[in-house]
Amino acid sequence: MTASSFLRLLRRGGAIAVLGSAMVLAGCSSGEAPGLGEQGYVGGFFGGVASDEPNASLAAREVLTVGGSAADAAVSLAFALGVTMPARAGIGSHGVCLVHDANLGLTEALDFLPPKNAATPPGSPAMPTFARGMAALHARYGRLAWGGLLAPAEQLARLGHRASRATRKDLEEKWRRIASDPIALAALGTSRGTVPDGVSKWQQVELSSVLGQLRYKGAGALYTGTLLKSVFDSYEALGAGFTLEQFQNYVPVWRRPLSLEAGAHRAFVLPPPIAGGVPLGQSFGLLMAEESGPIGDSADRSAEVIKAMIAGLVDREKWVKAGEMTAEQADALLSAEHINLLAGNRQGPSKPIPGLPPIDSGSTGFVVVDREGLAVACTIGLTGGAGLGKMPRGMGFFPARQPYDDYWGSPLIIANDRTFQLYLAAAGDTGAAGFGALLTTTLRAYRDGTSLEAAISEPRLTFAPSVGVIVEADAPEAYSQGGSSLGLPVRRTAALGRINIAFCPSGLPVQPEERRCAASADPRGDGLAALAN
């Protein structure tokens, strides 16, 4: 057993063996004090969660309150999102996470994206990698029994629930596409063929059956036996380009993230070959080096934000063409020396960048932190609203489309590299909208000291190579002027990206009397942040 494995075992306290078949959300036992996994086990600060859908956030909150780790809560939340936001998440989805463990002094990246091969062209059914990704997260950082973590999602689907406003709005946006598939319409629509009304209980019986098998048998149930055959056969009928053997042998990848100076701390992003991390880190580093001041307060400040984004995207064109990199070469992309070199870049990308959708990419991001300083920030999605737009019979979930050339998304975590305390965790949707939303919000909160509520509410802008500068409709004219001053086309849109964020200016963990934390769900949606101080 390695030292890090032993430390993880100590951190988890052998709780899986203790809990056995116990349900995470079971009531208190007859003992004098509630035990791990029972209501009332955690008093005071339990951590925080923020996601795009309230029922999923509440599932994660309950896991934290019974003593579950942030990883446990993230697993429960992610599976619940597959029920409550089925056009953005689910068993057919894929994604990435950043995980920071303050106890171990360790930050890691989890890549559960579908493998790329010539036989699986972009837009075809992507291998469903989500279940194994969540199993990897739970195996490494979980504390409670797997089955109990999936119970809330299964109950939401089997017993039914009143669809939240977030669920209804998201389905309404994609309903024309969903309703064009009879199987999806029957699985998600009312008896009248309409979006759930929020009054009647909304059941997803077929999905609950699949969730029940995963809860009882573990994530491996998707890759063996009758469920494997049903899933693989249905994907093959839709034109999947992966073999049965490739599906069975898929394993998520733990990667070492990249990091850069962020004032007194360090900011962590996803490493190559994942596309979004390095440009986000470089843009963040360029803007951290500037004097503090409101983003978009003037045309000059707006232009600086746009130029920082462009610099990261232009640099990516260069290092991607260079081919595979060593770890040292990847680290150098976020070094202070390299970021200083980028500061003078004033040119846009030489051509449109594939796979960087400007606005909605059919994904969702969430964050969970616990009182011990473990943080999980993930982005999961289907590569487009409702993925393929076709639902296999009897499954209750949409297959994702194979991602385009690269995956444009990266959560962001800020932590101290000496004390290992956590300061910020943020994640959002993919594409240019998520890129701009994550960058501007984290800088406002972390660099400029803006309250988290104000930072996430203020207008946004971003740069998309295929479009130009995109500015929110209610943004000051200075935002548009910043783009125009660089000779770039400017387009306005109603809302630009969704992110969820947790920010602890005094760090986690700390003494209770020093603890200051805030969590926020994006007000552009109808999600929920739950945090106890």
* pLDDT confidence of residue 12: 43
Q: Rounded to the nearest 10 degrees, what angle do helices 54-65 and 70-84 cross at? A: 160
The percentage of the chain sitting over the pLDDT mark of 70, rounded to a whole number, equals 87
Place of tokens 């195996």: 139
Taking residue 176's Cβ as centre, other Cβ atoms within 10 Å add up to 9
Which pLDDT value is given to residue 4?
Answer: 46
Instruction: Provide the pLDDT confidence category of residue 409 given band limits of 50, 70 and 90.
Output: confident
Is the pLDDT at 217 greater than 70, yes or no? yes
Sign of the alpha-carbon torsion through 97, 58, 386, 365: negative
Note the pLDDT of residue 346.
Answer: 52
For residue 291, is pLDDT > 80?
no
Q: Residue 121: what pLDDT?
A: 74
Q: What's the mean pLDDT in 195-211?
A: 95
Quote the strand ranges of 263-360, DSSP E. Answer: 265-269
Residue 350 has pLDDT above 60, yes or no: no
State the pLDDT at residue 3. Answer: 44
Residue 510: predicted pLDDT: 84
Which pair of structure tokens corresponds to residue 255? 């990667």
CA-based end-to-end distance of the chain? 37
Pair 66, 359: CB distance under 8 Å: no
How many CB atoms lie under 10 A from the CB of residue 412?
A: 28
Q: Kindly state the average pLDDT of the residues 12-16.
A: 38
Across the range 393-409, mean pLDDT stands at 86
> Is residue 28 predicted with pLDDT exceeding 60?
no
DSSP symbol at 38: B
Of residues 441, 461, 421, the one with CA closest to residue 519? 441
pLDDT at 404: 67
Sequence-distant (6+) residues with CB within 8 A of 89 are: 78, 81, 82, 130, 364, 380, 381, 382
Q: Is 464 helix (H, G, I), strand (E, B) or coil?
A: strand
**Could you tell me which of 69, 251, 88, 49 has the C-alpha nearest to residue 146?**
69
Number of H helices, E strands in the chain: 18, 16
The predicted structure's pLDDT at residue 370: 95
How would DSSP label each residue in 256-271? PPEEEEETTEEEEEPP
Beta bridge partners of 98: 109, 377
Instruction: State residue 65's pLDDT score.
Output: 93
Following DSSP, what letter does each residue of 135-172 receive, concatenated?
A: HHHHHHH--S-HHHHHHHHHHHHHT-BPPPHHHHHHHH
Chain centre to alpha carbon of residue 457: 19
Whether the predicted pLDDT of 453 surpasses 80: yes
- Whether the pLDDT of residue 45 is over 90: the answer is no
Measured CA to CA, the distance from residue 516 to residue 45 in angstroms comes to 11
Is residue 490 helix, strand or coil?
strand
pLDDT at position 385 over 90: no
**Cβ-contact 63, 149 below 8 angstroms:** yes
| Residue 18 confidence class, pLDDT cut points 50, 70, 90 | very low
Please indicate, yes or no, whether the overall pTM of this predicted structure exceeds 0.85.
yes
Tell me what the mean pLDDT of segment 5-28 comes to.
Answer: 39
- Residues 171 and 202 sit within 8 Å (Cβ to Cβ): no
Return mean pLDDT, the chain.
Answer: 88
Q: What is the pLDDT of residue 182?
A: 96
To 5 degrees, how large is the angle CA 454–CA 459–CA 461?
135
- Tens of pLDDT along 141-157? 999 999 999 999 999 99
Is residue 139 within 8 Å of 251, Cβ to Cβ? no
Check residue 485 and report its DSSP letter. Answer: H
Q: Residue 364: phi, psi to the nearest 5?
A: -150, 145
User: What is the per-residue pLDDT across 354-368, written as a single tens digit (0 to 9) for each?
Assistant: 657 777 678 999 999
Q: What's the token pair of residue 258? A: 């990249």
CA distances from 529 to 58, 163, 197, 429 (A): 9, 18, 23, 16
36-40, 82-86, 194-198: least confidently modelled range? 36-40
Say which range, 24-28, 86-90, 469-473, has the weakest mean pLDDT. 24-28
Look at residue 241 in the predicted model and tell me its pLDDT. 86
- Statement: residue 38 has pLDDT above 70: no
Q: Give the closest residue to 384 by CA, choosing from 128, 174, 166, 231.
A: 174
Q: Is the pLDDT confidence value at 529 over 70? A: yes
- Assess whether pLDDT exceeds 60 at residue 24: no
pLDDT band at 122 (very low <50, low <70, confident <90, very high): confident
Q: Six-digit token pair at 33?
A: 């004090």
Structure letter (DSSP) for residue 32: S
User: What's the pLDDT at 13?
Assistant: 41
| In the predicted structure, residue 464 carries a pLDDT above the cut 50 | yes
By the 8 A CB rule, do 87 and 78 touch? Answer: no
Q: What is the pLDDT of residues 156-165, one digit of tens each?
A: 999 999 999 9
Place 104 in a pLDDT band, splitting at 50, 70 and 90.
very high
Dihedral sign for Cα atoms in the order 218, 223, 224, 228: positive
- Judged against a pLDDT cut of 70, whether residue 339 lies above it is answered with yes
